[in-house]
Chains A and B, each alone.
Chain A
Amino acid sequence: MPMEDLAQAAIEAALDGGATFADVRIENTVTAIIEMSDGVTKRSLASRLRGAGIRAFVDGAWAFGQTTDLTPDGMRDTGASLGRLAVATKSRVVERFDIDGPTFKDRVDYKVKTPFEDVSFEDKMAFTKMIDDQAKSFDTRIVNTRTIYGDLWTRMYTANSLGTSVWSETSLPRIISVSYAKDGTSRQRAFRSHGARGGYEEMEKERPQNIGAESAEMAVNLLSSEAAKGATYDVVMDPVLNGVMVHEAFGHACEADNWPAHTTVLEGLVGKSVGPEHLNLSDDPTMPGERGSFEYDAEGTKTRKRHLVKDGVLTDLLHTLETSVRLDMEPNGSARAQSFMYPPLARMSNTIMEPGDWNVDELIADTKNGMLLCSFNYGYTDPSKGQFQFQASHGYLIVKGEIGQMVRDVSLAGQILEVLAKIDAIGKDFEMDAGTCGKSGQSVPDMSGGPHARIRSVPVGGM
């Protein structure tokens, strides 16, 4: 039976069971992961995910389930039982609302030059080995290397009871290199990755072909770094770290499911100033060729660029169909799910700070005494407290406007409502880096970035 009819069977069964809205995502995903360490294959993994995620809704109550039984009976049974579960849940719901929104009928075929399935395991293995060897042979002080190649291809069909019927497709390759350097008792680790949206040809470009040397060089450089001294500093963030700051310190707090849940410190601030006038933050899933890009979201809504902060004012949020109804704002295609096994949530895509007008050298020279912090290890946030933390992989002291001693593992903590006001200078350069974002147990691919930018007087943790 065609996917359209299978989806319709589940939707009709859910509606018959008492739901007023239902939607279905039928997914077919193929992945490959190759992990190598010191030139030896540690993990070579192939997978196929095939199944349907189904939701039924009535009067503010949701029911979610999944099935891998993609037969008319399997779809009908799951749809019907979720319809009944939504009705049973309804009696406990306090806030009643309906699901509504624009409908879309489309088919996106994502064209790539070299589909992953046209490349043999042997060729992917050889590429991974080349990167692993490249890192290992970079310097005698490199004691261990780890290289991970991954590709993911997905074809998704999304339909709902309002009439949406959308086929979408995506293709995401990634290469990660982790190098460990040792010199005497000093042991250091560096991580570099490159991700894009496209076919295998993306891995044949200059940066991914040299990612092993890039991570090895960083690990060796870190051998002569010092642990940072904890204190309050004026901090210049590089583009990659700036992206992480925007993502952690602000992006999560803009996920609109925080509004009905009352779990963001930004709740009363839509349309109000949240930062200086020169500040512009966006989340844009329409950027061509980026790892966080997609034409239609997990609810089948067409995506568009979200100007989260425009000239210092909070203007847009990240919406699902539900939040756009409940906040009476335009839907913008921000619903994402890790796979058909998870319900869609409001999420980021490619999250950036828009460039400003400072020349980067002048920005550093102007900083007098502070720190230039670069790249990232990880970060996290709690929008309901308004607190966030993120960690740079390395940085440099800025002494009298000049870059000095290298430092490592520098954590930076702050308050969502305070940090943006402290951004007083934004560079005119721009760069993004690949990431993976976690929320409620679901991971999705994303990008974040921006220009160099300076934050005045923030606490930086050290040893």
Chain B
Amino acid sequence: MKRQLIDIAEKTVRKAEDFGADQAEVYISSSRSFSIDVENNAVKGASDKRDAGCGIRSVIGKSSGFAYVTTVLEADLIEAAEKSVKLARASIEDPDFVSLPSAQSSYPKVKGLLDPVVQELGSEDAANLIVRGVDAAQDALENHETAIEAKFSASTGLTVIVNSLGISSSAESTSTWLYVSPTIKDGEEQTSSYEFQVSRALKEIDPEWVGRSSAENALSNLGAKTVEGGDMPLILSPLAASAIIGGGFAGAINAEEVQYGRSYISDAFGEEVASGELYIVDDALLPGGVGSRPFDAEGFRAQKTEILENGVLKSLLHNSYTANKDGVENTGNASRPSYSGVPSISTSNFVVAPGKGSLEDVISEVGKGVLCRFTGDRPNMATGDLSAMIMEGSYVEKGEIQHPVKNTLVGINMRDLLRRVEMVGADTRVALAIISPSIVISSVKITSG
């Protein structure tokens, strides 16, 4: 399969060159994913998806064109190769474009990207696993009217990247995901919460923990009240840090956004942008990391990049285009959602170094403030202004959680938020966009009503 796809990719690169491309790049991904859904406490359905497709980038001079197809059939690939060349011809040249990445001498060996157990997982095994998660949640919620939604997925993928300059790379990986979300009723009141684990290896998924934690989270959301607003400390749990730091800060150090002056961090580059408490690296080589990989979405070798050290911004996240434009080293952060997207820039594993203490320790240290467990908000990336609803969170007083909050919003500019990090816990976990412990911001504006 791998050899076959590399051959197809190499042929397609030549095809695009025949149509007139100076340089061409072919990105093929082939995946199989199996998933199971639970609705109202019982299995409801399953899906078995096989997807293989191809994205082609053709460069003529300083102009690029892209095309993709949802198959790897020869006729479709030829059509796409031709279209990509046509699009490159029609494009307005980009004076800052230099070249696609050139051949890499070697790729780092990253451990733990592939779990054979995931590759061979049967539908019965998958169903047993999700049922364990649901049962654990139900056991913890036996005194409440409960409706649990859950999803488990296991996927295996192969990515192949070949370009005209000698890049020829392929990598296989697996990933699994378990999500459990109970909705509970308590008299007239209804609330919900969730928990999940994501991993490359099945053995790291603990369905009982996911189920039980989702239930505890839901119970802790009962009895939500508004609070008296004002300026006070904010504790971001790892899931909230994922949205605000993993989304709101990582997005601001995307070199393309900075180069265009679209990022609130643009004017602050090279300066102390954050509190000395905050150490962040982007680490594509983390063994078994969900964002780990030997090469990025352009086939450039992956690496570990220091982002924040002692509050000083050490590097932006680059792909080949932005690195060439700035005349700096490529950090290997080109990314694509699949064969269907063009290379942009994103993090691999965005890791916040732990400080000390559990969440309880952090809460007791803070004394009075608000804990944000989860928000779906993100800052305005141009201004850095963040106005976020606390989707799940609690009011903290006397060093203890008092009650959950509702209709409560946090307001702060990201530049202030980064400088006001006064404490970092040691309760590190893998969230979607970050690997982080809890983070304390010394003062934010809370509005509630």
Contact = CB atoms under 8 A, between A and B. Distances in A.
A180 B406 contact: no
A65 B48 contact: yes
Interface in B34-64: 36-37, 39-53, 63-64
Contact of A45 (B41, B87, B408): B87
Interface in B372-429: 376-377, 380-383, 385, 387-389, 391, 406-413
B67 A461 contact: no
Contacts of B168: none
Given A230-B411, A260-B39, A386 B190 contact: yes
Contacts of B83: 46
Given A189-B383, A230-B445, A260-B40, A413 B408 contact: yes
A191 to B, nearest CB: 10
A289 interface: no
Given A411-B388, A459-B407, A94 B41 contact: yes
A4 to B, nearest CB: 22
Interface string A84-96: 0110110011110
Nearest to A62: B45
A409 interface: yes
Nearest to A417: B190
Interface in A239-266: 260-263, 265
A385 B189 CA distance: 9
Nearest to A263: B183
Interface stretch (A34-42, A102-110, A152-160, A205-213): A34-42
Given A230-B445, A461-B388, A121 B40 contact: no
A122 interface: yes
Contact of A46 (B49, B67, B377): B67
B307 interface: no
B315 to A, nearest CB: 22
Given A459-B407, A461-B388, A180 B382 contact: yes
Chain B's interface size range is: 35 or more
Nearest to B221: A385
B87 A377 contact: no
Given A89-B127, A410-B387, A411-B409, A82 B48 contact: yes
A399 interface: no
Interface string A335-351: 00000010100000000
Contacts of A61: 43-46
B206 interface: no
Contacts of B407: 387, 413-415, 459
A31 B48 CA distance: 26
Contacts of B36: 89
A321 to B, nearest CB: 14
B377 A457 contact: no
Interface in A398-447: 408-411, 413-415
Interface stretch (B91-99, B363-371, B432-440): B91-99
A384 B183 contact: yes
Contacts of B358: none
Given A63-B46, A121-B90, A188 B382 contact: yes
B238 to A, nearest CB: 19
Interface string B83-119: 1101110111111100000000000000000000000
A232 interface: yes
A262 B66 contact: no
Interface stretch (A9-17, A48-56, A169-177, A273-281): A48-56
B171 interface: no
Contacts of A341: 49, 51, 70
A360 interface: no
* Most A CB within 10 A of own CB, among B51, B86, B87, B131: B87
A40 B210 CA distance: 48
Contacts of A42: 94
Contacts of A38: 260
A80 to B, nearest CB: 12
Contacts of B376: 380, 389
Contact of A40 (B37, B95, B192, B264): B95
A372 B45 CA distance: 46
Contacts of A411: 377, 387-389, 409
B262 interface: yes
A387 B406 contact: yes
A182 interface: yes
B80 interface: yes
A113 B87 CA distance: 24
A353 to B, nearest CB: 21
A227 interface: yes
A47 B342 CA distance: 12
Interface string A74-86: 0000000110011
Contact of B64 (A44, A48, A189, A227): A44
A93 B42 contact: yes
A305 to B, nearest CB: 28
Interface in A129-156: 129, 143-144, 146
A371 interface: no
Contact of A461 (B42, B87, B94, B410): B410
B387 to A, nearest CB: 4
A212 to B, nearest CB: 16
A304 interface: no
Contacts of A92: 42-43, 127, 131
B324 interface: no
B207 interface: no
Given A41-B91, A459-B447, A189 B42 contact: no
A143 B45 CA distance: 50
Given A187-B264, A189-B262, A462-B387, A41 B406 contact: no
A391 B375 CA distance: 14
Contacts of B90: 44, 120-122, 125
A60 B37 CA distance: 12
B50 A66 contact: yes
A382 B389 CA distance: 12
Contacts of B47: 63-65, 343
A180 B262 contact: yes
A462 B447 contact: yes
A68 interface: yes
A438 B417 CA distance: 29
Contacts of B76: 48, 50
B79 A180 contact: no
Contact of B48 (A44, A60, A63): A63
B387 A67 contact: no
B220 interface: no
A146 B192 CA distance: 39
Interface in A191-209: none
9 contacts: A47-B340, A48-B70, A61-B46, A62-B45, A85-B48, A187-B264, A262-B147, A265-B190, A384-B192
Given A48-B76, A261-B149, 5 more contacts: A44-B65, A64-B48, A144-B261, A389-B377, A460-B447
